[in-house]
């Protein structure tokens, strides 16, 4: 049985870690380098670093910050935000990232996934997806959730994997920051559509929420931000309780 992963997420804006609710009302959560080091030491399985305003600001991910974070961690480290070319990914991997996530640029240019997978391998490419329910359909949103599209979540996930994405990071905008649990029904539907690892994001508020994401949502990893940033859940406590529920985690 594959080990389930716990992944803290660093949403970066103007060089600081931030967290909001439903992608709005952002507040400061600390220095990304300090947080990354802490999570690495506390037993996180991976880290995700998302420069959430890079696309809106029409700039590239903060390479200097990526380099500093990479020096402080000894666990896999995924970087996203403002990535739109093979050259962008090459620079991020050189700066210390292990994987990259693409979102808005891939929707606008789906062949980007093919090019990146060919250049760096499927295992290096994470397709990040922000979606919310609109009139009973889950629709893709771009640019940090600010731009709605007519693209269906499940259609896009299938296409992304067919094009070479090796992992899916699905954030439910409806659940994000609410601490009411992950979108487990949608996660389970995604699992039925594709066979690559799926990371659940958006809604973690309790240890039970993580348990349900693994058992009901059938995800491979669960990502969270505020519950870790503000000390509401300790990673080792979480893993101990998950193990007690017969969920295979790295203690």
The residues carrying an active-site annotation are 11, 130
CA neighbor of 110 nearest in space, from 62, 56, 149, 78: 149
Encode 176-228 in three state secondary structure.
CCCCCCCCHHHHHHHHHHCCCCEEEECCCCCHHHHHHHHHCCCCCEEEECHHH
Specify whether the CB–CB gap between 235 and 228 falls below 8 A: yes
Q: Where are the alpha helices (DSSP H) in the chain?
A: 32-42, 63-72, 86-95, 104-108, 111-120, 153-163, 184-193, 207-215, 226-229, 235-244
Bin 94: left if φ > 0, else alpha if -120 < ψ < 50, else beta: alpha
- DSSP at 122: G
Specify whether the CB–CB gap between 70 and 97 falls below 8 A: yes
């Amino acid at each position: 049985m594959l080990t389930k992963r716990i992944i803290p997420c660093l949403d970066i804006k103007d060089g600081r870690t931030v967290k909001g609710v439903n992608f709005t009302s952002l507040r400061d959560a600390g220095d990304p380098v300090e947080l990354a080091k802490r999570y690495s030491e506390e037993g996180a399985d991976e880290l995700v670093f998302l420069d959430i305003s890079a696309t809106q600001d029409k700039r590239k991910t903060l390479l200097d910050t990526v380099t500093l974070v990479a020096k402080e961690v000894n666990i896999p480290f995924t970087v996203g935000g403002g990535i739109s070319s093979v050259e962008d990914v090459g620079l991020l991997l050189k700066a210390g990232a292990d994987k990259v996530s693409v979102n808005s640029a891939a929707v606008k240019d789906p062949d980007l996934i093919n090019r990146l997978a060919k250049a760096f391998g499927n295992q290096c490419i994470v397709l990040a997806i922000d979606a919310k329910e609109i009139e009973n359909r889950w629709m893709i949103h771009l640019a940090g959730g600010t731009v709605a599209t007519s693209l269906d979540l499940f259609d896009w996930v299938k296409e992304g994997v067919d094009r070479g994405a090796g992992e899916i990071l699905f954030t439910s905008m409806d659940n994000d920051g609410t601490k009411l649990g992950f979108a487990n029904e949608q996660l389970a539907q995604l699992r039925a559509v594709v066979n690559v690892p799926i990371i659940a994001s958006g809604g973690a508020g309790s240890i039970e929420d993580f348990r349900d994401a693994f058992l009901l949502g059938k995800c491979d990893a669960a990502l969270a931000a505020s519950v870790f940033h503000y000390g509401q859940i300790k990673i080792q406590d979480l893993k101990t309780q998950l193990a007690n529920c017969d969920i295979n985690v790295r203690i």
